Chain A
């Protein structure tokens, strides 16, 4: 179809960004129509990392299919697993012990922090500042170490199991997390110093890639992308799962709708996550970390939908069961997929440099989109 595009009106230039491109964070393929430097049209081509996870899951048992989902949105793999576990538990009416709930939420928030840190570094790199990336990874590594100690893996920790978590937290867990929160509270100030206030960065971000609230809803945007346009869509607030109901935290909402607003939303979310962790870390209830479950899980016939708030927005897992040991049909409603569909709308009329900024603030994870 590229041929058909390339025969555009005189003076328009069709450029492929991606699949292999520094700023597309993976293998997104954008066919950008430029006139001069101004973007006339952006057409995303997906599927360069479509791994047919939904088909796979139809032949995996309810214990097994969870681990595949951590490969979808690998930056918040923990939260993906969480969502699947929730869905299975909903189907089997498993009562998750309180300790497990708290541990899960802690892990979710840590994952969210790690994800946002990586986003911060990568986005700064996209707009040309290379140093923030390394500073962000310093904090991210600290989280990774904690994760590794408890879950046994740095990135794709397969820690959630139906009915709780796979193993109890590591004895050092609480101490380390406390250290980390203290450490990160001071470092996040440096983030602002280095990037947030920077005049160049601001002028790169402000007024770029505007998305109105209506469009945000109509395009199905969720997470920071939508909250930056003033749409309240935080699943943790709307339909609280686990212990989020009992926690004090704010849903970060900006009204700017431009890249800078999206940036600020994520920065605020980091602080919120920190406060959530600080609320929970000291009072993890004692007890079981895993509910007693049968060796082989069978979901009753029916349909089960569960949704959680990942670092990118609303993740939904939709399981249709025929009563067997494997799902009959499973559908992942991934946040990136809908957010991406708004990209063309957001980037039109801006410069090619802005396209990079817009993608940076959308924080796309392509395997999450392609699944």
Chain B
């Protein structure tokens, strides 16, 4: 069947045969840019709708079902409405930074998409420090939040921004350690290598207990990094009315909203790549028969499936748990996750060196 891979490469070849390289690359860049914008929009719409439906069913209700078939157009209506809503800037706010913050957040989210492998050989830039690049760029997003909270000239915003600042930077550590424990196994930061190394099974299964621990820690950490409940102190509605984007309205608010969901997608896809083999179908050792069957499912499906499963898990957390208090939150990181992940990393190193993994 026609897979993502073939399409993209056909386009690529055609461009480079018909035009001279520099023109071709410009055109290709144009296409890619449009695709990415499209991806953003679609992700925003789909994920928000998904969230609302999931929460609805967990809360024994129906959720949006009147706008469009089965409520499918609900989020579209919301987006349009937000676009048609006045975006006001409070006086006393630092206008420049206030307007800059949403841009920064969106651009950062965009940049992280570069090394993500959406399907077999479908990847913008397979750079040799893939994972490190992702964690590096994602550490930029906290600046956007601090900027927004700072510029709003609003107490709730400032409190929310400081909270999420401390929270995000803290949890970056354990996320990094968890990722490292896979890097130790693969011996490369390159995304494609990491996926390739799971040809005979996903690390989650190959890596014994340490891999599972690392996986859990990673999920918790990214939940905190994306300010999701139960770690959503930045937007703790009942305490600070809306956290760092209290003063944002209309499209600027929509951009924050969108960036939040795109970040969720990104971290989940990274988790899927590290532990569940990205687009790699479920292979088990040398069971060639089984593996071949699995290969019939196109790689893009695998990738999307895994990612959305993880996203669902995040939503499951959100709609089940109460919110932590700020000090408990930081305790969890510094007293539990960080030490555990350090020890876990050492175990993993031992396994890697001794080659005990499958």
Most buried by B among A22, A128, A134, A195: A128
Any A CB within 8 A of the CB of B53: no
Q: How far is the CA of A37 from the CA of B163 in the complex (A)?
A: 10
Given contacts A195-B322, A204-B325, contact A128 B59 (CB under 8 A): no
The answer to whether the Cβ of A105 comes within 8 Å of any Cβ in the partner chain is no
Contact, CB under 8 Å: B324 / A200: yes
- Chain B residues, Cβ within 8 Å of A64: none
Of chain A, the residue at the smallest CB distance from B328 is A203
Q: Mark A133-153, 1 if CB is under 8 A from B, else 0.
A: 111001000000000000000
B237–A204 CB distance below 8 A: no
- Would you give the shortest CB distance from B167 to chain A, in whole angstroms? 13
Main secondary structure of the interface of A (DSSP, over half): helix
Find residues 58-74 in chain B having any chain A CB closer than 8 Å to their own CB.
Answer: 58-61
For residue B331, give the distance in angstroms from its CB to the closest CB of chain A. Answer: 9
Residues of A within 8 A of B229 (CB): 128, 130
A200 touches B321 (CB 8 A): yes
Expressed in whole angstroms, the Cα–Cα distance for A126 and B323 within the complex equals: 9
Question: Which of A277-285, A321-329, A348-356 participates in binding chain B?
Answer: A348-356
Chain A residues lying within 8 Å of B159, measured Cβ to Cβ, are 13, 15, 37, 352
Q: Which residues 8-54 in A have Cβ within 8 Å of B in the complex?
A: 13, 15, 21-23, 37
Which residues of B sit under 8 angstroms from A126, Cβ to Cβ?
238
Interface readout for B313-329 with A: 1 if CB under 8 Å, 0 if not?
A: 00000011111111110
Encode A339-371 as 1/0 by CB contact (under 8 A) with B.
000000000000111111000000000000000
Contacts of B324 in A (CB 8 A): 200, 203-204
The interface residues of chain A lying within 8 Å CB-to-CB of B201 are none
* Bound CA span A126–B238, Å: 5
Are B155 and A127 interface neighbours, CB within 8 A?
A: no
A81 to chain B, nearest CB (A): 31
In the bound complex, CA of A23 to CA of B229 (Å) = 17
* Bound complex: CA A200 to CA B156 (Å): 24
Contact yes or no, B322 A198, CB < 8 A? yes
Closest to B323 in A: A128
B-chain residues with CB within 8 Å of residue A354 when the two chains form the complex: 325
A134: nearest chain-B partner, CB-CB: B59
* Nearest residue, chain B, Cβ from A133: B59
A120-132 CB contact bits vs B (8 Å, 1 = yes)? 0000111111110
Alpha-carbon distance between A356 and B325 when the two chains are bound, in angstroms: 11
Whether A131 pairs with B323 at a CB distance below 8 angstroms is no
Q: State whether A129 touches B239 (Cβ < 8 A).
A: no
| Chain B interface mostly | loop
Q: Is A37 touching B61 in the complex (CB atoms < 8 A)?
A: no
Q: Is the CB of A125 within 8 A of B238?
A: yes
B168 within 8 A of A: no
A195 surroundings in chain B (CB, below 8 A): 322
Of the candidates A21, A135, A352, the one whose C-beta lies within 8 Å of that of B59 is A135
Q: How far is the CA of A351 from the CA of B59 in the complex (A)?
A: 30
In the complex, the answer to whether B325 meets A351 with C-beta atoms within 8 Å is yes
Determine if B230 is an interface residue (Cβ-Cβ < 8 Å). Answer: yes
* B322 CB contact (under 8 Å) in A15, A135, A204: A204
Are A128 and B322 in contact, with the CB atoms below 8 A?
A: yes
Asked whether, in the complex, the Cβ of A352 is within 8 Å of the Cβ of B239, the reply is yes
Residue in B closest to A13 when the chains form the complex, CB atoms? B155
Assess the B60–A127 pair: CB atoms within 8 A: no
Q: Which residues of B contact A135 (CB under 8 A)?
A: 59-60
Interface residues of B (CB under 8 A from A): 55, 58-61, 155-156, 159, 229-230, 232-233, 236-241, 319-328
Closest 6 CB pairs of A and B: A128-B323, A23-B238, A134-B59, A129-B322, A353-B325, A127-B322
* Extra contacts besides A13-B155, A203-B324 (13): CB < 8 Å: A127-B238, A128-B321, A130-B319, A131-B55, A134-B61, A194-B320, A198-B321, A200-B323, A200-B324, A203-B328, A204-B323, A353-B236, A353-B239
